[in-house]
Chain A
Amino acid sequence: MALQEKYQALVDAATNAGVSNLAVREQDGVLYIDGDAPSGAVKDQLWDVYNQIDPNYASGDLILNVNAKVEVGSQVKVITQDSNLNIRKGPGTDQPIVGKAAKDEVITLVSKANDLWWSVRTKDGEEGYAYSQYLEPLA
């Protein structure tokens, strides 16, 4: 339970920020925190708390997997750092690029192939798979 104490401020922040389906468990020296954040901003805030407790995320004793909840069919914003987001034929970086979406561009989430790759459609009608960690729900 020591890890739970170490990251208590993070769990509290998640609870206070309205993270749903919050699951916190410790297994073999690693704490796993999963849940659905109400927004991308909440996810980012939690990662900042994580970094305060464990500078540079260096301890390797936490897996934080709280992602902003996005409904299929809704609009999502591209949150790459500055580059374009590749839209690929299939779910994987080994798949050919069939289109691109600019940073801050708003595209439509068509379906979720898995947690990491989502099928999307741009305003220009380009369809393919994009990396979900570069997408967040519109605030």
Chain B
Amino acid sequence: MKKILAVLTIAGFLFALPSCKGKSDADLKTAVENALHSNPDLSGVSVEVKDATATLSGEVKDATTQSAAESTAKGVDGVKGVDNLTTVALPEPVAPVVVTADDSLQAAVADAVKDHPGVTVSVSEGVVTLNGDIAKDDLKILMQKVQATKPKRVDSKGLNVK
């Protein structure tokens, strides 16, 4: 009887062992990955788990997303710690301002004002100066055409809008 009891105890102990230890690192890795990748912003985050500590790496778009990755991983049952090694992507470079060189600008604005006989135009160091008379209804299309030539600035103070 004693022997049977001992066997049962050992068997019971062995049976209970895995649940004492909690989920394996591999299981945790899968669980953390599933939790992260349900958010499209976190799809680029990689996960490694060792001794129930998750290490996150990869690039995210901003600091908010970075902390979201960490809190998501921490929220996974069985994860004891999170080492957040993710990096924030640099903002996309803003295209520099392009100003048309005077020679080309001269030709371009001459084309732009051609249909507005009351308007004269001059160009100096990228600044387009408009003078003369323009009907209010024509002003928008004139300015659209002139600004599309990519000048540095448009000086229309001398333009008399009627």
Residues of A contacting B152 in the complex (Cβ-Cβ under 8 angstroms): 28, 30, 63
Classify the interface of chain B: helix, strand, loop or mixed: mixed
**B95 CB–A CB distance under 8 Å:** yes
The size class of the interface chain A forms with chain B is 20 to 34
Q: Mark B110-145, 1 if CB is under 8 A from A, else 0.
A: 111011000000000000000000001111110111
A115 and B136 CA atoms in complex are apart in Å by: 26
Residues of A contacting B95 in the complex (Cβ-Cβ under 8 angstroms): 21, 23, 34
Interfacial residues of chain B within 11-25, with CB under 8 A of chain A in the complex: none
Q: A25-B94, A25-B97 are in contact. Are A60 and B107 (CB under 8 A)?
A: no
A64 and B108 CA atoms in complex are apart in Å by: 16
A28 and B115 CA atoms in complex are apart in Å by: 31
**A20 CB–B CB distance under 8 Å:** no
- B115 near A63 with CB under 8 A, answer no
A42 to chain B, nearest CB (A): 13
B162 to chain A, nearest CB (A): 11
A65 and B100 CA atoms in complex are apart in Å by: 13
- A133 near B148 with CB under 8 A, answer yes
Name the contact of B144 in the complex, choosing from A23, A83, A133 (C-beta under 8 A). Answer: A133
Q: Which of B32-40, B52-60, B73-81, B153-161 has 4 or more CB atoms under 8 Å from chain A?
A: B153-161
Residues of B contacting A56 in the complex (Cβ-Cβ under 8 angstroms): 136, 139, 156, 159, 161
Q: Give A contacts to B, CB under 8 Å.
A: 21, 23-25, 27-30, 32, 34, 43-44, 47, 51, 56-58, 60-61, 63-65, 67, 81, 83, 92-94, 115-116, 131-133
Q: Give B contacts to A, CB under 8 Å.
A: 94-97, 107-108, 110-112, 114-115, 136-141, 143-145, 147-157, 159, 161
Task: Return 27 A-B CB contacts under 8 Å, by A number.
Answer: A21-B95, A23-B94, A27-B97, A29-B153, A47-B144, A56-B156, A56-B159, A57-B143, A58-B156, A58-B157, A60-B153, A60-B155, A60-B156, A63-B150, A63-B153, A63-B154, A65-B148, A67-B148, A81-B141, A92-B107, A92-B111, A93-B114, A116-B108, A116-B149, A133-B112, A133-B144, A133-B145
